[in-house]
Amino acid sequence: MAIYIDIPLRTRQAIIEEAGLTVRREAERVIKREYFDPAVEQMKQDFLSHPVTEELKLGAQNAAKTPNISGTLEGDFKLDGEDTTTPNLFSFIGFNEGEDPTVPIEEALNSRQPGIGPTLEFKEKQKNDKGVRFVFQVSAPDENVIYNDTPMPGWDDMSWAYRIEHGIPGIGFFLNAERKNSLSGGGIQVRNKLRGGRFRPVSYLTTIFKDFLRRATPK
């Protein structure tokens, strides 16, 4: 003989909520495995293989012998009577010898803390005629946090990571000559203005993060 049990409304609602939570968690696992995690790894590779990152890391090892592989410095970086060559980005910005200025960016890319690194967060559950829709938000690393952590030497209110894409001031006052008072061993800032040196901005973090968001979002 069948026994029918009338489940209280509160219990029915709890069962539905639990089922919905299970589905949401499974959806989040799939998105994370298929889209988010691969996109994060590709973003890290894009950053490490970018010519700007490579040049700065090489400069940290040997500033005086690092070429300008990023192509950001163009023109004549000579003063009359000086035997100089086109500098590299590490020396031009003026980092300390042995310093790796890209580390704060790597730390942000590796962080999973909201507001710092890349994150995947559940936002809300929406009900419609077709059922239930779960809304997730994918966020790239916070550029403002990175800009605060990447100051240009001597310009505490200016980020070199930002200026890579928007232009670096002072290009006309750089002399690529190895001097004892040069922090990086590859160049110094001088008061005599140079003639033809030019900094060419290039896409950097903005493009890397846009590509990350595109890859991390299910089509």
> Tens-of-pLDDT digits for all 219 residues of the chain?
333 334 444 544 554 565 566 777 888 888 899 999 999 999 999 999 999 999 999 987 886 778 889 999 887 666 555 555 667 888 888 888 888 999 999 999 999 999 999 999 988 877 777 667 778 889 999 999 999 999 988 777 899 999 999 998 765 454 444 444 444 444 444 444 455 567 899 999 999 999 999 999 877
Rounded distance, CA 118 to CA 209, Å? 9
- The pTM score is 0.78
Contact 168, 197 (CB under 8 A): no
Rounded distance, CA 102 to CA 208, Å? 14
Dihedral Cα 129, 130, 134, 136, nearest 10 deg: -100
Contact 159, 151 (CB under 8 A): yes
CA 18 to chain centre: 38
